[in-house]
Amino acid sequence: MGVVPALSQGGMEMRRYTRVLILLMALFLLAGLYYPSASAAKYSELEQGGVIMQAFYWDVPAGGIWWDTIRQKIPEWYDAGISAIWIPPASKGMGGAYSMGYDPYDYFDLGEFYQKGTVETRFGSKEELVNMISTAHRYGIKVIADIVINHRAGGDLEWNPYVGDYTWTDFSQVASGKYKAHYMDFHPNNYSTSDEGTFGGFPDIDHLVPFNKYWLWASDESYAAYLRSIGVDAWRFDYVKGYGAWVVKDWLSWWGGWAVGEYWDTDVNALLNWAYDSGAKVFDFPLYYKMDEAFDNKNIPALVYAIQNGGTVVSRDPFKAVTFVANHDTNIIWNKYPAYAFILTYEGQPVIFYRDYEEWLNKDKLNNLIWIHEHLAGGSTKILYYDDDELIFMREGYGDRPGLITYINLGSGWAERWVNVGSKFAGYTIHEYTGNLGGWVDRYVYYNGWVKLTAPPHDPANGYYGYSVWSYAGVG
């Protein structure tokens, strides 16, 4: 036999270093930090259902600073696990430096021509926009452009023979020199008298007119081509109730990419018909309003009834549903922690609102839920228990995501309940992954599927967030 050498001084130091490292890792776990940084983990792509950040809100600071503001936040959003950012409409609007972009004047002015009293848009210059997009791409984050093509705004007066009066439909003075529309390009005209809907009294674009199709999407000189040329990856279509689903379908046939439409309605059939006809996803407004009813008014049965009876997009076709808690237009849900716990652990593709993440909520809690979404949440859903205050549901797991159990508690006291999870976790120890129970908490699931789960009170002001999330121990 050979002689086993004594440990060298360097080897002893290495062992001490390793013990200290293990101790530090254990302390982090006990503190409730159960997720690694995104740079050390695999996060899903936008097309695979990854988490989206709505990177703006209504009336973001003016002065041309917003593209730089987003650019500076991208590294942190990457670490959090964000797969894509949804940016505001980038073209020069009628309101010039004050426009939020939903009043498009010159589609081909991204902050490079002096018109409407400014060179830059509210958000900055074209150069700053391109730099922001390039930064996002360096971090593997996709960029979703907000597409406003139902109407135009800010044109000059001209005589319109189709209405027998003057209309604000002369766009011949756009500084870019591209897409110089006139009255014959808007409703009514010799092609049609109207379409699905108008907005705000602005001139209503007629998408059947070949001139409009050419400049908006159906050519290599189009607005869509221009956005592609600066690096835009995907599309969010504004006010799609205002024009036919065929427009988005044809846009995507030309340019491809992930897409979602804002079809603001609670009629699930109408939303899904639009989604199937267009080839895009759709924001789940029915779910949004049911979450408000459930989490703000302690009416969880209304949410469960809608889910179980096809009253939401996500319950009918989760692959078409983009879910959200707030956006730049609407912010009615006040109890946001259970709402985010729901959309980030349930089916559908979730969006996080900028102000919730950066200003109003606990960022660490949202980061933890993003990690849970990306590492645990997969497969179909089974509701295990509900009443006015409590909701417990299980995801069955899919691929490398093992599934989870979410326990939402709207009550003012601690909640504890036995539930049967069936064979999914039977015989295993499951771990609580949010840290909301005050440390490292495991529970054993009996072979008959029964397990006792706990959820904290809903009292964010005092550090209780009203939800817990469970899965196999040792994930991540």
Give the CATH number for residue 63: 3.20.20.80
**Is residue 384 within 8 Å of residue 369, measured between CB atoms?**
no
Residue 358 DSSP one-character state: I
Q: What is the mean pLDDT of residues 104-117?
A: 98
- Structural domain containing residue 134: 46-283
Say if CB 425 and CB 445 are below 8 A apart.
Answer: yes
- The predicted model gives 282-307 an average pLDDT of 98
Beta bridge partner(s), residue 158: 167
What's the confidence (pLDDT) of residue 296? 98
What is the band of 301 on the pLDDT scale with cuts at 50, 70, 90? very high
Instruction: Pick 1 or 295 by higher pLDDT.
Output: 295
What's the number of domains the chain is made of? Answer: 1
Burial (CB count within 10 angstroms: exposed 0-12, middle 13-18, buried 19+), residue 124:
buried
Q: What is the pLDDT of residue 360?
A: 98
Q: Is residue 366 included in any domain, yes or no?
A: no
pLDDT band at 10 (very low <50, low <70, confident <90, very high): very low
| Residue 32 included in any domain | no
| Per-residue pLDDT at 34 exceeds 70 | no
pLDDT at 319: 98
Q: Which helix (H) or strand (E) holds 246?
A: helix 245-255
The CA-CA-CA angle for residues 127, 129, 134, to 5°, reads 95
pLDDT at residue 212 is higher than 50: yes
In the prediction, which pLDDT does 475 show?
85
How far is the first Cα of the chain from the last one, in angstroms, to the nearest whole number? 42
- Is the pLDDT at 41 greater than 80? The verdict is no
Q: pTM for this structure? A: 0.91
Q: In this structure, is residue 155 part of a structural domain? A: yes
Asked if residue 16 has pLDDT above 60, the reply is no
Predicted pLDDT of residue 42: 52
338 in any annotated domain = no
Assigned domain for 412 exists: no
Would you say residue 252 lies in a domain? yes
pLDDT score recorded for residue 95: 98
Q: Is residue 255 part of a domain?
A: yes
Q: For 440-469, what is the mean pLDDT?
A: 97
- For the segment 394-401, the average pLDDT, to the nearest whole number, is 96
Query: Over 70: is that where the pLDDT of 30 sits?
Result: no
Q: What is the pLDDT of residue 269?
A: 98
Please state, for a pLDDT cut of 90, what percent of the chain lies above it. 89
Inside any domain, residue 360: no
Q: What is the pLDDT of residues 260-292, one digit of tens each?
A: 999 999 999 999 999 999 999 999 999 999 999
Helix or strand run (H / E) with residue 147 = strand 142-147
For the segment 357-375, the average pLDDT, to the nearest whole number, is 98
pLDDT above 60 for 380: yes
Residue 237 has pLDDT above 50, yes or no: yes
pLDDT mean across residues, the chain = 92
**Whole-number pLDDT of residue 194:** 87
Range in 8-17, 278-287, 412-421 the model is least confident about: 8-17
Question: In which band, very low, low, confident or very high, does the pLDDT at 17 lie, cut at 50, 70 and 90?
Answer: very low
